[in-house]
Amino acid sequence: MSTNKRAWNRAVVNQALKEAVIKLNPKTMIQNPIMFVVEVGFLVTLFLVFMPTAFGNTVSFGFNIAVALILLFTLLFANFAEALAEGRGKAQADSLKKTKQEITANRLVGLDVVKVPSTDLRKGDIVVVSQGEMIPGDGEVIKGLASVDESAITGESAPVLKEAGGDFSSVTGGTRVISDQIEVRITSDPGESFLDRMISLVEGAKRQKTPNEIALNTVLVSLTLIFLVVVVTLPFFADYLNIQLEVPVLIALLVCLIPTTIGGLLSAIGIAGMDRVTQFNVLAMSGKAVEASGDINTIILDKTGTITYGNRMASDFIAVGTHTSQEVGYWAALSSVQDDTPEGRSVLELMKKLNYSYEPAVIRDGTFMEFKAETRMSGVDLQDGRKIRKGAVDAVKQWVLSQGGEIPANLDPNSDAIASAGGTPLAVAVDHTIYGLIYLKDTVKPGMRERFDQMRKMGIKTIMCTGDNPLTAATIAKEAGVDDFIAESKPEDKIAVIRREQAEGKLVAMTGDGTNDAPALAQADVGIAMNSGTIAAKEAANMIDLDSDPSKIIEVVSIGKQLLMTRGALTTFSIANDIAKYFAIIPAMFMLAIPELEALNIMKLHSPMSAILSALIFNAVIIPILIPLAMKGVAYKPMSSSQLLRRNLLVYGLGGIIVPFAGIKLIDLFVQFWA
């Protein structure tokens, strides 16, 4: 659904109108000091409506009530903007709450299956979920493979494959299994699930102001205090000149001088920025993460599952030395019988495809060695003492040499040939002998080169990290179009490159989906985990891409830049507005006593009272006029910072000066008939 339709949904607008009135409570208003000053001005003016002679006031009843009403509408418009932004998040949260329901879970207790409510499940419980059943809680698949409908979370109707092992084992409570059966280990207690966190975040219950927002708010409050001091002391100087300044006029001056426009829209801009990220199916854990994404200088991308599809499949067995491809396949299959990774299963599938045979009974009493990022190998130790290893070529070479073996002369040329073609070679060895290579193929996701070109235009450097050898990494990097790559990288290498970039004063983003990506995701300024990834990756990140599309980082960066630009543009527009108000109110206040100030009435406003009311009305109506821009955000196009600054100064700086002159004059043409 488009932003505009969601923003102006009738139910959301009606609720926002109610909230705008409720938010007039001074306890709520004091959280926004700028608008609280306006509310105090409204209450003082309202008091003068009923006590017209208080404070030595001599202005008419009509002027008092007009100022009071205009200030009231200024408050309501500002509250409406914030309530509208909050309402969109609450509407989305309500739809998510419909997804959250009581589910009956099949919990494994020993060998028995016991039906229990999903609310009784705790971390570590194991449940069985069959075709047509809902997954009762967040967890990871520990046995089996199934297609899962995640449309309730992601909005995408296409099912996703979830399987034990690898980086695609994470499942979310509230999603439905549509084929086969899986066993799931629950990883969250009730109230702490992914869906619970998502509901809490999108409805704004835990929204905190970002550092930039706090800094800007401090500047705006400081300006408000300065103008407050000026207006409070102004009557003393006026008395010296025998000029009487009425309280409603002083209040009007104060309200027009303080940055009410940005003060009324600042909170709405921040909430809408979070909402725009959510619209792209990215769950941001904080506004700080969204804001930081707008200042990103470097992006670290994990290759497997991020730049490429990540489904590296065995496509051939390449023999080395005097061995045959059947021998390579035989030992590769034995090392893969208990290997639950997609690559391991693909080896067995290739054996079937090639009609090669092997004897699983050979490893029956053997000890399986799982793949580790540190060793970059897996394998099995047989009962008779033989050791089979499968893994990265250089790792297997070192292992064989440590066993006293020799490296076949044609190993490196064959390995380089596979890597040059963009594949991944895995060496297969038994004790001191290398039998050959497994040719794994992976594919770069379409459109990645164009995405990286866009990042380059934004001034963002892209670095690909992969465990592949340098030749494979270089081929993939060239095909994808990244700026740099790190081959044969371990988890600590990713952290090291992030820290190196951060030490140079750069903000770094990292995308990943595996458990080994978790430390780097936590170290990065902006960590984006794929929803299809592991629980560890999602817990370490501060953003989660529900569509598991790593190219989504483009939209996230654009939204971050758009949030910063929108805040800056509307602040510039708000402050520039004051120039026109000076020429409207200052001459109106002193013109009778100092006729020479008529020269400042360049808009030729009808009378002092019409000038003040026109400036006040413009100050109020500009807030609802700018609400759509605050919600949608300033349009962002990839360009340099200097170009962006020039464009925004021209549009919102110069525009902020010109528009109020025209607006106040136009309003004065109508106000003069009754002011």
The one-letter amino acid code at 218 reads: T
Contact present, 227 and 257 (Cβ < 8 Å): yes
Residue 187's contacts (CB-CB under 8 Å, 6 or more residues apart) are: 123, 137, 138, 139, 140, 535
Work out the number of other CB atoms within 10 angstroms of the CB of residue 409: 9
455 is in an annotated binding site: no
Contact present, 664 and 670 (Cβ < 8 Å): no
Half-sphere exposure of 599 (CA within 13 A, CB side): 3
Residue 10 burial (10 A CB sphere; 0-12, 13-18, 19+):
exposed
Please work out, in degrees rounded to the nearest 5, the angle formed at the alpha carbon of residue 417 by the alpha carbons of 414 and 418.
90
Please work out, in degrees rounded to the nearest 5, the angle formed at the alpha carbon of residue 311 by the alpha carbons of 310 and 316.
125
Tell me if residue 205 falls in helix, strand or coil. coil
Contact present, 156 and 205 (Cβ < 8 Å): no
Residue 160's contacts (CB-CB under 8 Å, 6 or more residues apart) are: 147, 148, 150, 168, 532, 548
Q: Using CA atoms, how far apart are residues 597 and 312, in angstroms rounded to an integer?
A: 79
Q: Using CA atoms, how far apart are residues 41 and 71, in angstroms rounded to an integer?
A: 8
547 is in an annotated binding site: no
478 is in an annotated binding site: no
73 is in an annotated binding site: no
What crossing angle do the helices spanning 553-590 and 448-457 adopt, rounded to 10°? Answer: 30
374 is in an annotated binding site: yes
Identify the sign of the CA torsion 311, 312, 313, 315.
positive
Contact present, 550 and 530 (Cβ < 8 Å): yes
493 is in an annotated binding site: no
**b/e for 590-605, b at 16 or more Cβ within 10 A?**
bbeeeeeeeebbebeb
* Catalytic hit among 125, 275, 302, 668: 302
- The pair of structure tokens assigned to 357 is 């045979």
Residue 658's contacts (CB-CB under 8 Å, 6 or more residues apart) are: none
Q: Which backbone phi and psi does 208 adopt, to 5 degrees?
A: -115, 150
373 is in an annotated binding site: yes
198 is in an annotated binding site: no
Question: Is residue 120 annotated as part of the catalytic site, yes or no?
Answer: no
Contact present, 282 and 556 (Cβ < 8 Å): yes
375 is in an annotated binding site: yes
Tell me if residue 295 falls in helix, strand or coil. coil
What crossing angle do the helices spanning 33-50 and 211-240 adopt, rounded to 10°? Answer: 40
Contact present, 541 and 515 (Cβ < 8 Å): no
377 is in an annotated binding site: yes
Query: Of 1, 593, 534, which is closest to residue 276 (Cα–Cα)?
Result: 1
- Secondary structure string (H, E, C) spanning 402-466: HCCCCCCCCHHHHHHHHHHCCCEEEEEEECCEEEEEEEEECCECCCHHHHHHHHHHCCCEEEEEC
Q: Using CA atoms, how far apart are residues 521 and 209, in angstroms rounded to an integer?
A: 23
573 is in an annotated binding site: no
The Cα-based distances of 226 to 134, 218, 233, 258 in angstroms read 59, 12, 11, 9
- The pair of structure tokens assigned to 366 is 């053997």
- The pair of structure tokens assigned to 541 is 């990140």
Query: Of 139, 206, 215, which is closest to residue 171 (Cα–Cα)?
Result: 139
Q: Which residues are annotated as a binding site for Mg(2+)?
A: 513, 517
Q: Report the binding-site residues for ATP.
A: 339, 343, 371-378, 390
Residue list, annotated binding site: 339, 343, 371-378, 390, 513, 517
Residues annotated as catalytic (active site), given as ranges? 302
